[in-house]
Structure 1
Amino acid sequence: MRLAWITDPHFDHAKLETWRRWADDLIAFAPHALVTTGDISEGDDVAYQLRCLVETFDRPIYFVLGNHDFYGKSIAETRRLMIDLARDYDHLHYLTDSGPVFLTADSVLLGDDGWGDASEGDYLNSTVRLSDFELIQDFRADAPETWRTILQREGLDSSKRLQQKLVALPAEVRHVLIATHVPPFREACWYEGHITDDNWAPFFVCGHVGAALRQAADENPDRFFTVLCGHTHHEGDAIILPNLIVHTGYSRYGTLDVESIINLGSDGFRLPPAW
C-alpha cells in the first residue's frame, strides 16, 4: 500500500503547465491513493480542482479542507457542497464526513478539517489578523468580539468528530493515519525550523484536536497514531508520545509538490520524502 500525500497545494496559484507536470510526476509514483490535507484552493475553484483530480487520477482521493477552502462562503455551506460533491464521485472521499477507511485489516485512515481554535498562545494580545476574518462569511457577518468563540467552536466540533471515529475503532486496529489541516500541537507548528510563538499559535494550532489525539494515544498504548497536517507551509516532525507522531508538510505558493509517498507495511506507516 502506497499513499501519495500532498498538503496546501493552493492550486489557484499554480500555472496550468505546473499542474500538468505535477500530475505526470504523481502518476509516475503509482500510488494506490491520494491524501490531501487542505488548502486545495479558494471559493468555487475548490470543487473544480477536486473534479480535475478525480478525472486525472483513477484511484481513491481522500481530502480534508483548510481555511482557504472556505473563502467566499460560510463554513457550513462549504462543507455541504463538499459532501454533495464527494457523493457524486466514487473515488472522492471527504474525510470530515467519512468514517474510518480500512487500508488493511489492522490499519485505517481517518480525518477532519481542524481549525486554528484559539486554544494555544495569547489570543487577546495577538497582532495576527488572518484573511479568514474578511473572506469567510461566519467571521465577516459577526463582530470581532465573537471571532474567538467561532474559532473555539470549530476546533471543538472537529475534536468531537474525530473522537467518535477513534473510539469506534475495533481492537484489532494497530495503526491509525489521521489527516487534518491545522497542526494539533504547538510542537508540530513549524515555521523556518522553529515552533510557533504565542502571537501565531491561536490561529495555527488546533488544541482541541490535539487533546483528543493525546487521549486516544494514552488510552491505547499498543496502537500507533500518525498525523498528517499542513497550514504553516513549513515542514517538521514532532513526537508527542511514543505512539503519537505528527508530520507537518511544506508548501510554497505557485509550486506543486508531493510531500511524501507513504509506505504502509507490517510495522505501520513510513514517510520518506517523495523527492
Structure 2
Amino acid sequence: MKSNFRRIAWVTDPHFDHAKLDVWQAWNEKLLELDPDAVLITGDLSEGDDVAYQLRCLAESLDRPILFVLGNHDFYGKSIATTRRDLIALSRDVPQLTYLTDHQSVSLNRTTVLIGDDGWGDATVGDYAGSNVRLNDFQLIEDFRTSSPEHWQSMLIAEGKSAADRIAQKLRDLPATITQVLIATHVPPFREACWYEGKTTDDNWAPFFVCGQLGEVLQTAAAESPDRRHTVLCGHTHHDGIAKLRDNLVVHTGASVYGSLEIESVISIEETLIELSRPSLRFP
C-alpha cells in the first residue's frame, strides 16, 4: 500500500442496504470526481453478508485503498467473531481493502499514521442498570441473542475492553517520529463526542453510544505524548459534532441519514497538519 496519502474521503454509517441504486451511483461518481487517495469508512456499512458484497463493489468501482472499521449493524445476522473472521479473510483476498481492527497501522506520510478499531458501546458511561434502551443488537447479533440478558452488560464491557486494549497497543507501538495519529472507530469514545440534535448524550443512551474504555486509553495516550496530535473520527449517533478533549485530542463525529449517502469530509493530510473540510456532501 502507498505511504503518502494527501487526501482521504471520510464516510460514516452509510447503511448501503437502505440506499437505492441511483443514490449509490451518484455518491460513487462524486467520490471518483473528488479523486481522494483513499476512502475511510467508520462503520455501519450494511448488515450480514451484504457488508462483504458492498466492500467488494467499492474496491472494484473506486480502485483505490478502502480503509474501514465495522459498526454494530455490520454484525447483524452473525456472531461477532464470525463477522470479523470473514472480513479479515476478505481483506486479505482483495488488496484494496484494509480492515483497520486487524491492522497495526497505516502510514500516511513521514509523521502521520492511521490506526483504527470497531469500538463498542461498552456500558461503562451512563446508567446501564436504569436505562430503558434496548438496541436491535440484542436480537440481531448472535452473541447477544443466544445469551441471557443478565450477561449483556458484562459482554458489552468485554467488547469495549478488547477495543481499548487493541488501540492502546497500537499507540504504544508508534515510533517517536510520529507526531500525528488519525484514529478511526465507530462508537464515540467520549460522552462529549456523542452528539444528537446538537446536544450530547444523557445517562439513558450513553451506555450504548459511548466506548468509555477506549476514551480512557485515548486520554492517557494524549497526556503521555503531549507533542503528538490525536484526531479521532467516529459515527454511530447519526449526528455530527466536534469535541476537543485536550489541545492534542479532538474527536469528529459524523452524521448520517438512512437512505442517503454522504461524504462526511475530505481530509487533507500534511506532515504538520490534519484538516477536515466541511460541510458534508449528501446524496440525494
Deviations 1:24-65 (A, max 9, x none): 011111100000000000011000000000001111110000
Tell me the residue number matched to 2:129. Answer: 124
Residue 261 of structure 1: aligned partner: 266
Per-residue CA distance 1:76-117 (angstroms, 9 max, x = gap): 000000100000011100000001111101100010000000
Aligned-pair CA distance for 1:267: 2.6
Instruction: Give 1:46's aligned residue.
Output: 51
How many Å separate the matches in 1 of 2:32 and 2:231?
A: 24
State the Cα deviation string for residues 245-269 of structure 1 (Å, max 9, x = none): 0000000000001000000123321
1:228 aligns with 2:241: no
Aligned residue in 1 for 2:161:
156
CA distance, structure 2, for counterparts of residue 81 and residue 268 of structure 1? 35
CA distance in 2, matches of 1:200, 1:222: 34
Q: Shift of residue 132 of structure 1?
A: 0.1
**Structure 2 spans left out of the alignment, 5+ residues:** 1-5
Letter in 1 for 2:52: A
| 1:71 lines up with 2:73 in the alignment | no
SS at match of 1:109: strand
Cα displacement (A) at 1:272: 1.1
Partner of 2:250: 245
Match of 2:3 in 1: none
2:220 to 215, 218, 226: 215
* RMSD over aligned Cα atoms: 0.6
Give the secondary-structure state (helix, strand or coil) at the position aligned to 1:257.
strand
Q: Which moved more, 1:263-272 or 1:126-135?
A: 263-272
- Is the counterpart of residue 196 in structure 1 residue 201 in structure 2? yes
C-alpha contact (below 8 Å) 2:111/2:271 kept by paired residues: no
Task: State the aligned residue count.
Answer: 275
The answer to whether structure 1 residue 28 and structure 2 residue 36 are counterparts is no
Normalised to the residue count of structure 2, the TM-score between the two structures is 0.96
Amino acid corresponding to residue 54 of structure 1 in structure 2: A
Which residue number in structure 2 is paired with residue 93 of structure 1? Answer: 98
- For residues 46 and 271 of structure 2, the distance between their equivalents in structure 1, rounded to whole angstroms, comes to 35
What are structure 1's unaligned runs of at least 5 residues? Answer: none
Aligned to 2:9: 4
Cα deviation for residue 148 of structure 1 reads 0.2
CA distance in 1, matches of 2:74, 2:127: 26
Q: Which runs of 4+ in 1 moved over 4 A?
A: none
TM-score by length of 1: 0.99
